[in-house]
Amino acid sequence: MRKQNRVKTMQAVILKDRRVSVEEVPMPSVEEGEALIRVSKAGICNTDLEMIKGYMDFEGIIGHEFVGRVVETPVKDWIGKRVVGEINISCHKCEMCQAGYPKHCSSRRVLGIQGKEGVFAEFMTLPLSNLHSLPSEISDVEAVFVEPLAAALEILDQVQIRKEHEVLVLGDGKLGLLIAQVIRTQTPDVFCVGHHPRKLALLQRRGIRTCLKNCDRDQKFDMIVEATGNPKGISEALNRIKPRGKIVVKSTFYGQSGIDISRMVINEIQLIGSRCGPFEKALDFLKNKLIDVRDMVDGDYPLEEAQEALELAKRTKTIKVFLTP
Amino acid sequence: MRKQNRVKTMQAVILKDRRVSVEEVPMPSVEEGEALIRVSKAGICNTDLEMIKGYMDFEGIIGHEFVGRVVETPVKDWIGKRVVGEINISCHKCEMCQAGYPKHCSSRRVLGIQGKEGVFAEFMTLPLSNLHSLPSEISDVEAVFVEPLAAALEILDQVQIRKEHEVLVLGDGKLGLLIAQVIRTQTPDVFCVGHHPRKLALLQRRGIRTCLKNCDRDQKFDMIVEATGNPKGISEALNRIKPRGKIVVKSTFYGQSGIDISRMVINEIQLIGSRCGPFEKALDFLKNKLIDVRDMVDGDYPLEEAQEALELAKRTKTIKVFLTP
């Protein structure tokens, strides 16, 4: 096959030995069933920051939140399409895949996290079966939020939230702000406890009650979403949950968390681990303007300034930082 | 009202300052809506042993597993009835009671555990609404198992176990042995990991697969019931659960348990606290001989030998010890 006369290298953000650098690397090779995608915009997630600390032990191109355009693929209909992509690459054969949980595939690779180069680069590849074509109603900025919004929407697939439920969201980070908005579509009684007046103000403008730090200690909730990113978050949730209540756990971090198990048993509390979620629903929510991501982007940097972008993303006052190759 | 010419004191097992003694104490006063019950037989539970170590900070007559006969009550139909009794005494007015969870009543008292004198005594009292009349098919020995069996059956109300599920029971204590039998009624694939050949043999005779300590490390399970009574039990369960699996937690003990939360989140594991359960169903299971408590009683002592009985109950090889006033 005659090679096209195209660039053979590209710029990418590489993680190695817990250090990040911007390098010129070979273009990704496109495997069977995959598309080559030119990245239009990418988002920095807390997971990226945790990975730099050593989480997941990954080396290579990091990043998994993106919007891009398909530039090469055997299925011609896809070429030129504006796309987002699911991050779990599954075998579709193992027990978990067959049981309908491909994102729990026992031999999965995860975009920019585990066994698969990520999106902080000019180009990337993903299986066509992971891609979702974007409707024109969703902007590039909104599209970068599809992956974390899907993770927030996973909660609705795991627990039934009714309009009479009182729900507490612990944490006003990137994910907490999306989760509070998602839950607000199910019940008016959402309450977000955070540490940053500016972030909470953003929720207040969307009609969500908020509170700085340790307020209203006495109120107990039917359901709590723990998105603090802090090992102490679960204990805080156990303090504020009603008996028979459900705590959805979103935080991932190093090491162990001390939990008062007897209290969980006596009050018959459920702790529900929650990870990636449904892209279709996220696209639907954004298309129908049920989620508002305005004012959530604090910076948009070219790839060569990835270091500065990551530094900004690390600051606790920051919400979201973008990279534009 | 003229007092009957009856005994004004009785023998009882008293917990005070983490010490147990057998004493002559006043007969319990019968409050409105209550029945006075002569205790026929009582069972020593792990919770009693934990309470002696300081759990629940209770002082007074301990014990909550019993069978007895009603000797005094305003509702004459009950007099002479052979009964067992639910241990949570609820207000029937608070939010949790109104929501249909009286055992989570915010001002509940718990028989021999919290705010209510227990059953290691000649006489005891309970509200009539807590009592269940025993059918003749259930012996006194079986009846003492109604309360822990109900706790085991609570699991069936919390998770749906289907016949294709592979379920692991961690722990071969009193409760673990009942739980394994309960789960065996739902699926043939029950597996109990314990530390005592004699206890496991008892399950083997009932057609349940068992394993001593750390066998078959590779097999993963759809569901795990953690009944080890040990802070390390949850970590062991997290090692052996499939993604999206459910861990029902039965252990209560002092202090905190270290849990790898990220693993729980990534694999979307559910931890489900589980406490007291449905007496009706326990009576039904015993009446229909679905649960076999033979060979589970290691000793039956008069009240005055409660110290010896408790010493025997503490030994890890012991299954169940009874007290007969």
Cβ-defined contact of B266 to A273 (cutoff 8 Å): yes
**Beta-carbon pairs below 8 A across chains A and B:** 117
CB contact under 8 A, B266 and A243: no
- Residues β-bridged to residue A225: A169, A248
Helix residue spans in A185-303 (DSSP H): 197-204, 233-240, 261-266, 279-287
- pTM value is 0.92
How far is Cα B97 from Cα A228, in angstroms, rounded to an integer? 32
Token representation of residue A94: 């193992």
pLDDT tens digits, residue range B99-119?
Answer: 999 999 999 999 999 999 999
Query: What type of residue is A46?
Result: N
Are B275 and A268 inside 8 Å of each other by CB? yes
Residues near B57 by beta carbon (within 8 Å), at least 6 away in sequence: none
**Which is it for the CA torsion B72, B74, B79, B83, positive or negative?**
negative
Inter-chain residue contact B270 with A270, CB threshold 8 Å: yes
Interval A180-224: pLDDT, tens: 999 999 999 999 999 999 999 999 999 999 999 867 668 899 999
3-state SS class at B232: coil
Put simply, the answer to whether B262 touches A274 (Cβ < 8 Å) is: no
pLDDT at B6: 55
- The CA-based diameter of chain A, rounded to the nearest angstrom, is 71
pLDDT band at B1 (very low <50, low <70, confident <90, very high): very low
Nearest CA in chain B to A222: B96
Q: With a cut of 0.90, is the ipTM above it?
A: yes
Q: Which residues of B touch A271 (CB under 8 A)?
A: 264, 270-271
Q: A259 contacts in B (CB within 8 Å)? A: 256-259
Nearest neighbour of A267 by CB, restricted to B95, B104, B242: B104
Contact between B242 and A269 using a beta-carbon 8 Å cutoff: no
For residue range B121-144, what is the model confidence (pLDDT) as tens digits?
Answer: 999 999 999 999 999 999 999 999
Q: Edge to edge, what strands does the sheet with B60-61 contain? A: B19-26, B9-16, B60-61
A115: which residues sit within 8 A by CB, 6+ positions away? Answer: A109
Rounded to an integer, what distance in angstroms lies between the CA atom of residue B279 and that of residue A313? Answer: 55
Cα-based distances in Å from A237 to A220, A283, B147, B226: 10, 30, 30, 22
pLDDT above 90 covers what percent of chain A? 86
Quick one: average pLDDT of B260-286? Answer: 95
Residue of A104, A110, A271, A274 for testing the chain B interface, max B β-carbons within 10 Å: A271
In chain B, which residues have their Cβ closer than 8 Å to the Cβ of A170? none
Beta bridge partners of B170: B193, B226
Q: What is the mean pLDDT of chain A?
A: 94
- pLDDT tens, residue by residue, A97-152: 999 999 999 999 999 999 999 999 999 999 999 999 999 999 999 999 999 999 99
Tokens describing residue B141: 């020995």
Report the run of H or E that residue B137 belongs to, with start and end.
none
For residue B259, the chain A residues in CB contact (below 8 A) are 256-259
Contacts of B101 in chain A (CB under 8 A): 243-244
Please check whether residue A83 is in contact with residue A73, taking contact to mean a CB–CB distance below 8 angstroms.
no
Strand, helix or coil for residue B170:
strand
Which residue of B55, B104, B254 is in closest CB contact with A244?
B104
- A226 bridge partner residues: A170, A249
Is it the case that residue B192 has pLDDT exceeding 90? Answer: yes
Which of the residues B268, B269, B275, B276 would you substitute to probe the A interface, choosing the one with the greatest number of A C-beta atoms within 10 Å?
B268
Q: Do A268 and B254 touch (CB under 8 A)?
A: no
In our burial notation (b when 16+ CB lie closer than 10 A, e otherwise), range A255-289 reads: ebbebbbbbbbbbbbbbbbbbbbbbebbbebbeee
Would strands B297-302 and B320-324 be described as parallel, antiparallel, or unpaired?
parallel
Q: Is the pLDDT of residue B196 over 90?
A: yes
pLDDT per position as a tens digit, B22-75: 999 999 999 999 999 999 999 999 999 989 988 888 999 999 999 999 999 989
Chain B residues touching A101 at Cβ < 8 A: 243-244
